Structure 1
């Protein structure tokens, strides 16, 4: 049944394409040309990732430089991944990154939602608050990480999961994403909830959250990527190997395995894989959020 449905949709698409060609051949050629250009650009951007995978699956590494160069993946092997797994405490690095990223994602969902919900209301001095937020957004993290470190040290959070996650517990970008989603929800829903005796927290998490799933998915993706790939802050606050995250472990591994690109690329893929999994799981909501944001007037 599923195969028949698929064939029916294919026949319909083909018939529609033929009809479009008969009605307006130039439009058909234009769309075909745009598709081919987009396909070429996509392949161009995907090639570095393909090469990363090819080198990581090649063993022995010397075969990369022997014989005639080839772009095809020949005799793929997981030896480099297994060697990386046993050469370093990968499980400990992965667990540290997972814990810190989990704290960061949960914190951003909570704090950014509260900030966005408050900014979606009208209050005195709102424009000054927005001015402060947008000004803070222009300040790069590299200029303020030293005060952040001194505050973290005074709080006794150096060499801790909380200390690693504290600087990624809030993001102005995610506040803007959630604010746009919350302001697109009709005020009648929140007013009706207040008339029924609902608290502001219930309106936020019981009314706004279910209607803002694309924005929440975008927040999860952005906060996950930013926290998972964080390198400078762990480099400053981590003094114990127990709290070493994957990006910091990757940098140390590259210095130890200098020249062995196959092992370095294998480690890089192992670090990149969770990010790809999270994005693939939430990509539909992420794309929906981008489309809704572009359509908002």
Structure 2
């Protein structure tokens, strides 16, 4: 029996935003711009580039306006905007794709946005309606879809309920996240099978962190459930400042290597991708030790 694999998959690069947001050393704006340009040159077509959040809480994103102006043409660039103030700032940029987020659990949201899940959705609904009237593409990021650092295992019914709430609000895409990297393939297959079955008209993206080295296995499991869109971060950069224990996202280069070897086309050139990582590697506080990148540099 053969695996259920798509002919091609879309990789949404989240390194410039999710990958760098928790980096303590401020990465120079020009370096961020060059990083984005090199990622685009590697074949990345969709990318989270920055977030319009308070620089008091996420100082790495204090140059969001400037970064948002530097995206190459032909790239769908997402900017994260969690509230009215952030969305108003995002509307002043060329980006026509906005990402919003709410966690499934109340405790995560209270730590993150000082609101419960219901309060967060109540605030977002009119904002999402306004964005749709302006013809924006809306990406809804659902945090703690599997496990919460404060509440533990999350019930599938709770995650599905939030997915449906976003669908009713008119979003175009759901990015469903294993925020602290605790999910295993059986859980990934089960949840994404239900989401794909219940919301067949939405773009569904799987977002896995590699905290416990299960992300690649979870990607294969998600493909068995019909998912063909995956968030990934070049160099495995990332982590969530409001989720203790959340280490980096699954590495884009490792995902591309896996999928291409399995016959799933990504349109991404690995050699160019490693050169993009070369741009950012000297500027961050920890060494990049992801499998493909480390081996490629040892062979140089």
Normalising by structure 2, what TM-score? Answer: 0.20
- Which has more strand, going by share of residues? 2
TM-score by length of 1: 0.21
- The structure in which a higher percent of residues are helix is 1
